[in-house]
Structure 1
Amino acid sequence: MKLLSKLIFCLIISTSSVYAQVRLPQLVNDNMVLQRDAKVNIWGWATAGEKVSVKFNGKSYHTTTKADGKWIIVLSPAKAGGPYTMDISASNHIILKNILMGDVWFCSGQSNMTVLMERVKEKYPDEIAQANYPQIRNFFVPTVSDVRQVHEDLPPGKWQEANPQNVMSFAAVPYFFAKKIYLKYHVPIGILNSSVGGTPIQAWISENGFKSMPEYMSRIAKFRDTSFIRQISQPAVINPKNKPFLLPDKGLSGAIKWYDTSFIAQNWHPFFLPGYWADQGVKGLNGVVWFRKEIAVPASMAGKPAKLFLGRIVDADETYVNGVKVGNITYQYPPRRYEVPAGLLKPGKNLIVVRITSTFGKGGFVPDKRYELTDGTTKIDLRGDWHYQVGQVFPPLRRSAGNVESGFAFSAQNEPTGLYNTMVAPTIDYNIKGFLWYQGESNTGKPQEYGPLMQALIADWRSKFNQPNAPFIYVQLPNFNEVEYSPVESNWAEVREQQLQTLSVPNTAMAVAIDAGEWNDIHPLDKKDVGDRLALAAEKLAYGDAKVVSSGPVYQSAKVEGNKIILNFSSVGSGLMAKGGGELNQFAIAGADKRYVWADAKIAGNQVIVSSAQVQNPMYVRYAWADNPEDANLYNREGLPASPFTTDTK
């Protein structure tokens, strides 16, 4: 009995010791960058009443843990510099090393704020090789979402220094931003990147941020109903009544697999690559389609390691060279860049086979991408004639979430507050220089909502971070989708207009990216221009460099004079110009009926005069008003593009 009592006593002491241990948030860690010239919060958790001491930069600080288990210490402002060590003492002892004082930028948005340097390594090989900037640090927040409660900390992560190895996992836009700022001001830069691909802006706003939006508040209120959450969180399942009979993939079910070099392809159909099978004789098919091509490899290339570029593929692929699988990707967006190992290529005939699985939309090979096999010296162009055969057909499926049938299951990361609760709220005690935002693609379905939501986001974050005047700098949506050759309505243009109007919010700036997109890729590779333009905006807005021309021309006002409309701009720099020379493009004009036609537009000093013989009583002008306004060429002489706009801002 005495032995049992001793064991219980030891267990109590041990448990108390565990709970007394000081715990730090993920952000407060080795290699972190703390905000210079500002009071800085250092916080964590411990047993209520536990005394905590922090030594940093020659000063000591003391506090006592509050009843809720949280403690916080405020460090005195310090100039840029380091590296420093931080000593934290309580019942346990923690030493943090290699800390810098500099500028911390909170970067957020959707996938274009997450595209890694690894993704753009072929475009920027020198940038990666020369990325030796130990005073540029990156913390990438892993994805987690929750609509039910605010989380106290982030998922596990770490601060990393920029070097040729680490930089591959840095997002490209914030890296180029940080590099440009660092090289100009020689101040350590911390990138705190909290972004998730495919997410809408409303997921990043707190509940308080929606106070003036009843529709969203109603949705958020439902999240407090556990039965509602349980219902909508049910995994999407195939309705048994509609469950189809699915034949196996012929390419994998036969005696000889279709990727095998011994397989004899008979009655396969011709296909011109790149392209989509819906455009080449296969209508409305979701399923598995196999493609094959025989190529001739020169003796000089045989046996060498090589790289196979297959552009982008919709949706998933498995790729084989001479019967050997060299790679696969399960969704459409990443570029296909597969390593072909040494010894696999042989002189003469070689076989490439691609098995594509498409579940929605047009499957196939995205045009205007890189399709080649190369060993670094010799290049074999893979565009042209291939052959295909259908391996499996997917009947249309309906899925059910709870008792409501839909094509998609509930996802907290797409719901209001779903990402704020988990990927913003745990960071709000971390002092920052400002915000960078690159998002909007997922809100093009309801473009008129975007402006109010964006203004709500800015106000919400400034309030939560307790930095009411923090610079907020954002990217306007780039060009994307097919080119239209007549004036059209455009949801992407509407979102850009909402973003342009958000410049009315104090201490904001916008990087125009209308020339940095790709018609066939929602994740364009030109991330350096975008990052550099964000940096230009920061130089003026956040760093007070009044001499910097930080933006291209921004529409300010219009005046009707007879059959002409005269436009005035800010940010003209040293003057307006038509990039590449020639006439201005992408100006459209309309009368009261708002039927837009292409217009003649001419630069006159710092104004643009717009007219058309088809519109004698003009009232409105649009510029670059399309998803993808090809050859929009109004720039200032500093080489920065004008923002798309409309004078009809009812």
Structure 2
Amino acid sequence: MKQLKKDKKMRVGRIKHCMVYFLRIQLLLIYLSILAGNAQIKVPAYFSDDMVLQQKTNVPFFGTASPNTPIEIKVSWAPQSIKTISDPDGNWETPVPTPSYGGPYQISILGNGEILIKNVLIGEVWLCSGQSNMEMPLGGWGKINNYEEEILNADYPKIRLLQVEHKQHRAPSDADNISATWQLCNPESIAGFSATAYFFARKIWEETKIPIGLIHSSWGGTVIEAWMSKQSLKNIDAFNMELQALTSKKAQDALNVMNTSKMENWDKTVEVLDGKKSHCWTKASYNDSGWETMALPGYWEDMDKTLRDFNGTIWFRKSIKLTDVEARSDIEIVFTADDNDKLWVNGKFIGASEGYDKISKYRIPKQCLNVGANSIVIRVFDGANQGGIYGNEFFIRTSERHIPLAGIWKCQLGVSLQDLPKKPTIYQQQNRPSVLFNAMIHPFVKFPITGVLWYQGESNVDRAHQYRTLFPLMIQDWRSHYSNNSLSFYFVQLANFNEPIEKPVNSSWAELRDAQLQTYKALSNTGMIVTTDIGNPFDIHPKNKQEVGRRLALIALDKKYGKKNVFTGPIYQDFKVVKNIVEISFESTGTEHGLVAAHHEPLKGFSIAGENKVFYQGKAIIKGNKVFVSSSKVLKPKAVRYNWSDNPQGNLYNRDGLPASPFKTDQWEDITK
């Protein structure tokens, strides 16, 4: 009986506990409902003070509010307000018609609360994107030509700037993920902003007095496929695994295994080929009297101009003397290599380090040391750009002293990357297909723009042939997302870079430029500027961004603003062979028909080949708006190429001072295919 009463009491207690718990849940839901019902109206951050709206269009205003809340938008350029209502989830959107350019105006958005947006201009909005040459600021790491004066004079309140932060997403992101707001163009805001975009806008403003809004969304060192949507890439087999890995852990794991295997095999190939050359170079007794010398620390590109295009391994040797006391205790060797290094002391392997920005610190046990002479061998591997041992920390630390290692070292080339299979393309972070489109372009597709400025391609040079497919596909992709099949798209053809080479050569840079040229020819309402005359052989980031921006503006002034000026240099049109001479005709030869050779020099930059596909320097002369090319070494010519190298030196212009685009008349297979 007592047990039954006890059980009944426990059941009643549990029931009461459940009822209290249920009541708390109900109260919480009611409280959350009340909060939701009073949610303040919100819009994306880029609907901010000082913004520019595209003229003569319908700009979608959108955001969130309480469910089923009346929304009213009052604009100071029109007497009537625009009204809508949020849906049951609290989302709302409505088009706002914009007039011709002008302002400043004020916009008030009423719902649960009020948003007031002040100092709004109506004008033209340009999206500026690409990699580091678009990202390159006036000041900061960029330091363009005359940057201090340019920054000081950059007071243009009718030019407005929106700097998009670096982000990446696996799936398309919405506007709420953008925290950037608009700024007036002045010396404080412009120093860290895109120089190319600024000089473009400045020229447009000076010529038209139309307010300009610049959305700058670029990221240095990125590949074009990162800026393309998943839908546009889905039919290209090369990206299938990477795209699947964005949404599937199983696919990501499989991709990681495959990439690891690829890199391990490639690394083994490097070691095997390098080992065949260097199998005895680590020995303390090795005679290095036949080696060259180099002063370290320093980058080998700076020390020896013949190494400016060298990527691979270089071996360094030096002998250091230690006292009896020093040789009977451990020592430490400290240095920094770009990219990776390996160290041997007296023929014994000590260790390896990876990373161009990591200081290597090696402890050398006393068992490896000799009293007197000690052999030090360092192998440096560089995969791209500059290579060598650099920095101020370059010494041996013993129990008694620091021994500086700066000075003359013996050096010998190991394996060159040109002797190796192409390094596997491993997509990392921001270079994964579609992730930058998702995070840095997709949030703006509802925000009307007049056009796009694009400066990218250096990171795709090794796959230039593929760029023939990717680049026009990206333009069509963006136009589709903006619901504008004629969206203006103006871009920069790659500048000259690397050491000039006199004789005709194959060139991946030339192939990338040709892919850009073919895109310009194939797609309407595009524009391309040529920059092979304003680059820098030793700097992939040339400083003359004033001229880059000006040339881009020439396209817009003609095509968009009706100024009817010449905006491009000569563009290859057609050719024919007459006996042993090739006759080349051009489009865009300038306001006065006829071509010119710059600097009053003989025309240069042309090469010519017969059926054997061996190119020789051609003799070229101008007659009117045509160029005639020949060579005594090519009796039956089949093809002509112009400025076909990494750093071309051709001098063909039109009379408006704009350079001709590199081109080829042949359809012979690309080296990057």
Q: TM > 0.5 between the two? A: yes
> Secondary structure, in 3 states, of the residue corresponding to 1:550?
coil
Aligned-partner residue type, residue 195 of structure 2: A
Q: Distance in 2 between matches of 1:426 and 1:270?
A: 51
Aligned-partner residue type, residue 473 of structure 2: A
Select which of 403, 428, 432 maps to 1:415. Answer: 432
Select which of 54, 58, 65 maps to 1:35. Answer: 54
Distance 1:14-1:232 versus aligned 2 partners, 3 A rule: farther
* Cα pair 2:65 2:112 within 8 Å, conserved: no
* Cα pair 1:34 1:103 within 8 Å, conserved: yes
> Secondary structure, in 3 states, of the residue corresponding to 1:179?
helix
> 1:493 maps to which residue?
510
> Secondary structure, in 3 states, of the residue corresponding to 2:48?
coil
> 2:199 maps to which residue?
176
1:39: Cα distance to partner?
1.7
Select which of 446, 455, 465 maps to 2:472. Answer: 455
> Secondary structure, in 3 states, of the residue corresponding to 2:442?
helix
Q: Distance in 2 between matches of 1:230 and 1:417?
A: 19
> 1:588 maps to which residue?
607
> 1:335 maps to which residue?
none
Alignment of 1:480-629 (within 5 A): 480-503=497-520, 504-546=522-564, 548-573=565-590, 574=592, 575-629=594-648
1:430: Cα distance to partner?
0.3
TM-score of the superposed pair, with normalisation by structure 2: 0.71
> 1:438 maps to which residue?
455
1:552: Cα distance to partner?
0.7
> Secondary structure, in 3 states, of the residue corresponding to 1:545?
coil
Select which of 108, 111, 115 maps to 2:129. Answer: 108
Select which of 210, 233, 245 maps to 1:187. Answer: 210
* Cα pair 1:138 1:193 within 8 Å, conserved: yes
Q: Distance in 2 between matches of 1:230 and 1:211?
A: 20
Identity between Structure 1 and Structure 2 (%): 37
Alignment of 1:259-278 (within 5 A): 270=295, 276=301
* Cα pair 2:583 2:628 within 8 Å, conserved: yes
1:387-425 deviation line (CA, Å, top 9, x unaligned): 5499xxxxxxxxxxxxxxx99975242122111111111
* Cα pair 1:277 1:363 within 8 Å, conserved: no
Q: Distance in 2 between matches of 1:602 and 1:99?
A: 55
* Cα pair 1:552 1:643 within 8 Å, conserved: yes
* Cα pair 1:233 1:409 within 8 Å, conserved: no
Aligned-partner residue type, residue 96 of structure 2: L
1:22: Cα distance to partner?
2.2
> 2:371 maps to which residue?
none
Q: Distance in 2 between matches of 1:365 and 1:549?
A: 49
Q: Distance in 1 between matches of 2:65 and 2:579?
A: 74
Q: Is 1:474 the counterpart of 2:491 in the alignment?
A: yes
Q: Distance in 2 between matches of 1:593 and 1:15?
A: 78
> Secondary structure, in 3 states, of the residue corresponding to 1:153?
helix
Q: Is 1:117 the counterpart of 2:117 in the alignment?
A: no
* Cα pair 1:278 1:285 within 8 Å, conserved: no
Distance 1:407-1:644 versus aligned 2 partners, 3 A rule: closer
1:440-469 deviation line (CA, Å, top 9, x unaligned): 111111111112111111111111111111
Select which of 69, 86, 102 maps to 1:50. Answer: 69
* Cα pair 1:51 1:62 within 8 Å, conserved: yes
Q: Distance in 1 between matches of 2:66 and 2:667?
A: 56
> 2:152 maps to which residue?
129
Aligned-partner residue type, residue 637 of structure 2: P
CA RMSD of aligned residues (A): 3.6
Q: Distance in 2 between matches of 1:446 and 1:187?
A: 40
The runs of 5 or more residues in structure 2 that have no matched partner are: 1-19, 268-292, 319-336, 341-354, 358-379, 391-404, 410-422, 669-673
The runs of 5 or more residues in structure 1 that have no matched partner are: 243-267, 290-312, 317-329, 333-356, 367-385, 391-405
1:421-442 deviation line (CA, Å, top 9, x unaligned): 1111110000001111111111
1:545: Cα distance to partner?
2.6
Select which of 16, 30, 37 maps to 2:36. Answer: 16
Q: Distance in 2 between matches of 1:117 and 1:632?
A: 29
> 2:170 maps to which residue?
147
Q: Distance in 2 between matches of 1:502 and 1:196?
A: 22
> 2:367 maps to which residue?
none
Q: Distance in 2 between matches of 1:198 and 1:43?
A: 33
Alignment of 1:244-255 (within 5 A): none
> 1:256 maps to which residue?
none
1:116-149 deviation line (CA, Å, top 9, x unaligned): 0112255333322211101111111111112245
Distance 1:452-1:274 versus aligned 2 partners, 3 A rule: closer
1:160-190 deviation line (CA, Å, top 9, x unaligned): 1111121102100000000000100000001
TM-score of the superposed pair, with normalisation by structure 1: 0.74
Distance 1:122-1:152 versus aligned 2 partners, 3 A rule: closer
* Cα pair 2:382 2:388 within 8 Å, conserved: no
* Cα pair 1:113 1:438 within 8 Å, conserved: yes
Select which of 246, 251, 260 maps to 1:223. Answer: 246
Work out which of the two has the higher radius of gyration on C-alpha atoms and give 1 or 2: 2
* Cα pair 2:607 2:615 within 8 Å, conserved: yes
1:365: Cα distance to partner?
9.7
Aligned-partner residue type, residue 244 of structure 2: A
1:543-591 deviation line (CA, Å, top 9, x unaligned): 2333x01111111010111110111111111231111012111100011
Higher helix share: 2
